[in-house]
Structure 1
Amino acid sequence: MDVLAAIQKRREITAFKELPISETDLGKLTMALYQSPTGNNLPSREFIVVTNKPLLAQLSKTTPYMRWLEQAAIGVVIIGNEELSKYWLQDASIAGGYLWLAATSLGLGAAWGAVYHSEDHNESSQRENYVRDLLNIPAKLRVVAILGLGYPASDPPPKKMYAEDTVFHRNSFGLR
């Protein structure tokens, strides 16, 4: 599947089949993460690949909105290093997007579980510390998100999009 087809097919999948992801496909997914761009080519984001089902069940309690992680074949925790780069959050987010598209291209589904919460410091600290404690992540690193991956339990319908002219401008804001 080419990247444009993956972009069009991508959906948030929160129900997964109980099938493992092959080591070959896992290698492709980790390569997508590794190859994702970063500001100044700095390794400002790191990843923890979680395949242990009891650990995925514990991680699913990070927020009330990540219960689907229990069903995932794997979880990928994306960590940012704000001491290494001022672009840590952008770099981590781009890596998650690359992972999601790579997963879609392999016939997998994915869901994004936000951990870092830019508007609520207390909520972010609670979520990040919960994950840090489970995975032994140093306090200086930020836990950005957890993506759950697996084979979709069902194939969702095509996404219904809003009109393109609501988001595109040409040469200046407001010019269509």
Structure 2
Amino acid sequence: MDVLTAINKRREITRFKNTPIPQDLLEKLTQALYLSPTGNNLPSREFVLLTNKDTLTQLSTATPYVKWLEQATAAVVIIGNPDVSKYWLQDASIAGGYLWLASVSSDLGAAWGAIYHSEDHEESIKREDYVRHLLEIPEHLRVVAIIGLGYPDIDPAPKEMYLVDSVLHLEKYIANTTN
């Protein structure tokens, strides 16, 4: 599947079949993470690959919005390192996008569970500390997200998108007056 097809097909999948992901496919997904770009080519993001069902179940309580991790057959915790680069959050987020598209291109479903909360420092620390403690992640690292993976249990309908003209500007910004 080409990249544009994967982008078009991508959905938030939160219901998964109880089918393990083969090891060779997990290795392909970790390559997508590893090869994702970073600012100044610095290793400002790290990853924890998880397939243990007990750990996935425990992680499903990290926030009220990741209960679906109980059904996932694998997950990747994406970690940022502010000591390495000021672009740690962007680098971690880009890696998550690469993982998601690699998953879709391999007929897997994925869902993004935000752990880092940019607008609520206390909530972010609570979420990050929960994951950090469970996975023994050092204090100086930031837990950005958990991406749940698995074979989709449902085939969602196509996305209903807003008009491209409402977000794409050619040559200069022109305010949309129809909103």
Question: By the TM > 0.5 criterion, same fold?
Answer: yes
How many residue pairs match? The answer is 176
Between the aligned partners of 1:32 and 1:150, the Cα distance in structure 2 is: 16
Q: Find runs of 4+ consecutive structure 1 residues off by over 4 angstroms.
A: none
Amino acid at match of 1:96: G
The aligned amino acid for 1:129 is D
- Tell me: CA distance 1:175–1:126, structure 2 relative to 1, closer, same or farther (3 Å): closer
Please tell me the residue identity of whatever aligns with 1:102.
A
Rounded Cα–Cα distance in structure 2 between residues aligned with 1:105 and 1:115: 25
**Equivalent-residue separation in structure 2 for 1:68 and 1:136 (angstroms):** 22
1:71-95 Cα distance to aligned partner (Å, 9 max, x none): 0010100000001000000000000
Cα distance between partner residues in 2 of 1:170 and 1:107: 34
Partner of 2:15: 15
Cα distance, 1:172 vs structure 2: 1.1
Distance (Å, rounded) in 1 between the aligned partners of 2:60 and 2:75: 10
- SS of the residue aligned with 2:101? helix
Gaps of 5+ in 1: none
Secondary structure in 2 aligned to 1:95? Answer: helix
Unaligned runs of 5+ residues in structure 2 are: none
Question: 1:170 Cα shift?
Answer: 1.0
> What SS is found at the alignment partner of 2:144?
strand
Q: Residue 42 of structure 2 corresponds to which residue in structure 1?
A: 42
Which residue matches 1:147?
A: 147
Structure 2 counterpart of 1:124, one-letter code: S
Letter matched to residue 169 of structure 2? H
Cα deviation code 1:22-76 (max 9, x no counterpart): 0111011000000000000000000000110000000000000100001001010
Aligned to 1:106: 106
Q: Distance in 2 between matches of 1:21 and 1:155?
A: 18
Q: TM-score if structure 1 supplies the norm length?
A: 0.99
Show the counterpart of 2:168.
Answer: 168
User: What is the RMSD computed on CA atoms of the aligned residues?
Assistant: 0.9
2:99 is aligned with 1:95: no
Q: 1:105 is matched by which residue type in structure 2?
A: S
Q: 2:117 maps to what in 1?
A: 117
- Indicate the SS of the match to 1:132: helix
* Identical amino acids, percent of aligned pairs: 68
